[in-house]
Structure 1
Amino acid sequence: MKIQFLRRFINIQLLVVGLCLVLYSCKSINPAIDPGKPSIPPPTTAEMNVPLKIPKATLDKLLNSQIPSILLQEKGMDMGSGIKGDLLLKRNGKISWAALDSQRIQLTVPINITGEVGLKPKGLGSLFQSKLPLNEDFSPVFVIDPVINSNWGIGAESFELVDLGGNLAVEVLGMQVDLSGLLSKEIRRWGNENLTGGKEIASLKTLVDLAWSQVGKPFEVDWTAGKTAFSIQPEQVKLSEFFDKDENFNLWLGMNGKINSHPVDAAPSRPFPLPKLSPNPNSSNSLELLLPLTIGYDRLDAILKEKVEGKQFLADRKTTLIPSNFKTKAFGDLLAISMDFIAEQSNGKSLNGTLFAVGKPTYDATSQSLIFTNVNFKMESGSLGAQTSVGLKKAKIIRQIEKKAVFPIGDLLDENIGSIKGRLGLSTPISNMNITDLEIAPDGFYPTAYGLMIQMKASGKVRVDWK
């Protein structure tokens, strides 16, 4: 009798301990408490760095198309030694060049000089007022240090006339007068005034604006919550340039900015303006965009209803849970899901209740799916029997939730790869640019007051084919 009583007493104690453990486990989260402020999502950014290697042949085309045909035009020019003249210097053929080092190039510019010269109107000049016509071809050789200015203008830091490339002589009063020295002096004066200190002689701005009008225009991403438009707002554009041993012109072009999201019908109609250039020490080839995609809780509830509602969660071989009526919200850094359930048992009995579950949204790269980890839950309502039954099977139920709550997004990622590739590719008169090795994957999940923000990272490289 004592032994039987003792056994009953021990069984009661074990039951009480078991119930305490169940209730303790159910209280491991409390939907009524403040979970704290969620983490602030990192800023959504756009970063690109492209090492452009412009071949010499392409730079030939650029120089010959950009350097103006009229180099100098002046009237009444004082050429010294009592001589004045009207001169017009025009390009007269294709410009050729060679790189002397990483910064300087030697230019040979075929020119034609037309105009007329005469003596100043005093002394002998008052007796001989006729002017002599000029029409001579030259090929002067210059050494300049080209530079791309902050406004995309092409200028030169320094200028040197190495060789005039011809002689200029006229006959005055039966005498040959060599004006080559005077012409050299005038060209040097013109070069020091117009080809030093970065003064603009050509511009890449039209070409850059054409490229940016394609790349910088807002683009759309089709996501499960519908289409979202994004725009790139550049905050810094960086550039460094130099010539290599093969006379290719190397440009290290970089851009940093931020990504703005917009409703599709409220996206900007044109790109943001480009800031002025700054130096770039980076030679890497990289592209990285961080796109903020938000799924509203109403939409997330509908997805859970479609994917999970009515599906059976096997708590054990005798008990099956069937969830319904999903409501999602933020719970600190976790996503909270409130749901009703029916627990059906093999003996025909059923238990009803409400669960408050939390989990951390995570991306599984192997299956290209959105999954939940660190799942936990609490019984919010239901009979003591339901709480006890569910609490004892908590670990198994958590494993079932983690197993069932899997949302494949691989197809969506593939579709958006094509969309981003199409937007960031461009064609210009001198080159075609394409994005290669592009990969898109979720980089972070951030429950907010309005929905679940998913930051998608797009990374790749840039390929340039020169014409």
Structure 2
Amino acid sequence: MKIQFRLRFINFPIPIVLLGLVLFSCKSINPAANLGLSTPPPPATTEVNVPLKIPKETLSKLLNSQIPTLLLQEKGMDMGSGMTGDLQLKRNGQISWIALDSQRIQLSVPINVLGQVGLKPKGLGSLFQSKLPLNEDFTPIFVIDPVINSNWSIGAESFELMDLGGNLAIDVLGMQVDLSGLLSKEIRKWGNQNLTGGKEIASLKTLVDLAWAQVGKPFSIDWIGGNTAFSIQPQDLKIKEFFDANQDYNLWLGMDGKINSHPADAAPSRSFPLPELSPNDNSTNELEILIPLTVKYSTLDELLKENLDGKAIRVDKKTTLIPSNIKTQAFGDLLAVNMDFTAEQTNGKILSGTLFVVGQPEYNAASQSLVFEDINFKMESGSLGAQTGVGLKKRKIIRSIETKAVFPIGDVLAESLGSITDRLGLNTPIAEFKIADLIIEPSGFYPMAKELVIHMKASGEVDVKWK
């Protein structure tokens, strides 16, 4: 049976076979088909991860600028051994530190002990009313476990006094009274009250708030058909902190969020609040932002008209096809273009009809343009002669449409590049941040019911220069 079928097929006249192939190819697309809703675009998101390596010198400047000068002040203290007095501990020089391991540091804090000591007002104290002044310098050494709190303060989880760094002894009525134990007790008391349980030593909040006020503020991009504003809404803020073998303080900062679109005149006036901190295990330097841009089909129609409407498409030596009345729409996950055409032949004969063209929007990096690929079309109407002539030259017509249906977007990419680079660049008192190797290009095209959604992906890294 298969042999007989092949013999009969071969016996058909060649023109009839060609006509059948042409008509079959023209019917491969059904413009009236219900393809269901288009696949919605994925969420427009942002992912940023910056592994910061804060040099020891920079952290030393931060600690020395924020740890208060006055550490302790007590009046009328009971110093034991029938003695009372006033005591004040003030920083008296630059704090120095070394990292003992990935989490603990050893601090050396020069302090000045200032005050006065006397006998309690009873017994000998009633006879000896004068008080002896205190003015001694010490350099106590203690160990803390610094931590970044959720409010961006730098605190300590634990405190341990390792060495008082001096002796405090006074002569009272010819007797040597050693107050070193009392001083150690007061320093431990102060440390347990101020350097445990994450209590604030210094704060990064002002720095973070100023940085986020700039980085998180909505930005706008001029796009086909108008200006659109975008805002970053953080959903997850992550951190990991540790000291390395070079005594540098490492902070792995990460943020995941979503990108919101706004009319240019209705964008939020300020950045969204930052969420609380959570752990981060990502050590890579990466920045990726998906920006959802939209093009209304009426705008696409105008763009296509500039390149296709009235422009002759050479079908063969005798026939020229001229498109008109161009309309775009979604066709499932593809983009469809309806266009009328007139096919003019050199013998004066004119054929007319309608083409239903479908294709996949893509991005051509070499020309920085939106183009159509995988184009196919169907003759929706027209005479048999028009269908035959157009169908036989289908590949040539497809190539011509692919060549002419081009939307240059280089200027838009340059505008986006400048907006994002300027917004994410940041100069702070301790560091300068810049976006490096930023690349912006379309990453997906999603034909929706009323518009074409184009996701622009911005990717790069964050460079940091410490001061």
Q: TM-score range by the shorter chain?
A: over 0.9
1:293 and 2:277 are equivalent in the alignment: no
Between the aligned partners of 1:434 and 1:136, the Cα distance in structure 2 is 48
Between the aligned partners of 2:72 and 2:268, the Cα distance in structure 1 is 44
Amino acid of the structure 2 residue aligned with 1:89: L
The residue number in structure 2 matching 1:198 is 198
Q: Secondary structure at the match of 1:316?
A: coil
- Percent of aligned positions with the same letter in both sequences? 73
Between the aligned partners of 1:345 and 1:51, the Cα distance in structure 2 is 67
Root mean square deviation, CA, Å: 2.0
Between the aligned partners of 2:82 and 2:196, the Cα distance in structure 1 is 29
Q: CA deviation at 1:360?
A: 0.6
Q: CA deviation at 1:16?
A: 4.8
The residue number in structure 2 matching 1:219 is 219
Q: Secondary structure at the match of 1:32?
A: coil
1:261 and 2:261 are equivalent in the alignment: yes
- Quick check: 1:315–1:400 contact (8 Å CA) kept in 2? no
Q: Secondary structure at the match of 2:411?
A: helix
Amino acid of the structure 2 residue aligned with 1:389: G
* 107 and 396 in structure 1: CA distance in 2 versus 1, 3 angstrom threshold: same
The residue number in structure 1 matching 2:305 is 305
The residue number in structure 2 matching 1:98 is 98
Q: CA deviation at 1:121?
A: 4.6
Q: CA deviation at 1:250?
A: 1.3
- Quick check: 1:235–1:258 contact (8 Å CA) kept in 2? yes
1:40 and 2:36 are equivalent in the alignment: no
User: How is 1:267-282 mapped onto 2 (pairs within 5 angstroms)?
Assistant: 267-282=267-282
User: Aligned pair count?
Assistant: 458
The residue number in structure 1 matching 2:66 is 66
Q: CA deviation at 1:82?
A: 3.6
Deviations 1:2-50 (A, max 9, x none): xxxxxxxx99965554444333222211121111221121111111111
The residue number in structure 1 matching 2:3 is none
Name the stretch that deviates more: 243-252 or 327-336. 243-252
* 80 and 331 in structure 1: CA distance in 2 versus 1, 3 angstrom threshold: farther
1:344 and 2:348 are equivalent in the alignment: no
The residue number in structure 2 matching 1:51 is 51
- Quick check: 1:239–1:254 contact (8 Å CA) kept in 2? yes
1:155 and 2:155 are equivalent in the alignment: yes
Q: CA deviation at 1:127?
A: 5.1
- Quick check: 1:99–1:243 contact (8 Å CA) kept in 2? yes
Amino acid of the structure 2 residue aligned with 1:93: G
Q: Secondary structure at the match of 2:301?
A: helix
Gapped runs of 5+ residues in structure 1? 1-9
Deviations 1:171-229 (A, max 9, x none): 32332211011110111122122211211121110011111111111112222232211
Between the aligned partners of 2:171 and 2:310, the Cα distance in structure 1 is 106
Between the aligned partners of 1:347 and 1:11, the Cα distance in structure 2 is 33
Between the aligned partners of 1:314 and 1:77, the Cα distance in structure 2 is 102
Name the stretch that deviates more: 154-163 or 394-403. 394-403
Amino acid of the structure 2 residue aligned with 1:407: F
Between the aligned partners of 1:423 and 1:250, the Cα distance in structure 2 is 25
The residue number in structure 1 matching 2:413 is 413
Q: CA deviation at 1:272?
A: 0.7
Q: CA deviation at 1:124?
A: 4.5
Give TM-score, length-normalised by structure 1.
0.93
Amino acid of the structure 2 residue aligned with 1:30: N
Gapped runs of 5+ residues in structure 2? 1-9
User: How is 1:298-447 mapped onto 2 (pairs within 5 angstroms)?
Assistant: 298-447=298-447
User: How is 1:220-235 mapped onto 2 (pairs within 5 angstroms)?
Assistant: 220-235=220-235
Deviations 1:258-295 (A, max 9, x none): 11111111111111111111111111111111110001
Give TM-score, length-normalised by structure 2.
0.93
Between the aligned partners of 2:84 and 2:335, the Cα distance in structure 1 is 86
Between the aligned partners of 2:145 and 2:324, the Cα distance in structure 1 is 73
Between the aligned partners of 2:125 and 2:237, the Cα distance in structure 1 is 58
Amino acid of the structure 2 residue aligned with 1:244: D
- Quick check: 2:217–2:269 contact (8 Å CA) kept in 1? yes
Q: Secondary structure at the match of 1:93?
A: coil
- Quick check: 2:303–2:407 contact (8 Å CA) kept in 1? no
Deviations 1:421-443 (A, max 9, x none): 11110000011100011101110
Deviations 1:140-197 (A, max 9, x none): 1121111111111111122111221222222323322110111101111221222112
The residue number in structure 1 matching 2:7 is none
User: How is 1:121-132 mapped onto 2 (pairs within 5 angstroms)?
Assistant: 121-125=121-125, 128-132=128-132
Amino acid of the structure 2 residue aligned with 1:328: T
- Quick check: 1:79–1:186 contact (8 Å CA) kept in 2? no
Amino acid of the structure 2 residue aligned with 1:136: E
Q: CA deviation at 1:412?
A: 2.6
- Quick check: 2:40–2:448 contact (8 Å CA) kept in 1? no
Name the stretch that deviates more: 68-77 or 204-213. 68-77
User: How is 1:17-28 mapped onto 2 (pairs within 5 angstroms)?
Assistant: 17-28=17-28
Between the aligned partners of 1:295 and 1:410, the Cα distance in structure 2 is 16
Between the aligned partners of 2:207 and 2:351, the Cα distance in structure 1 is 71
Q: CA deviation at 1:100?
A: 2.0
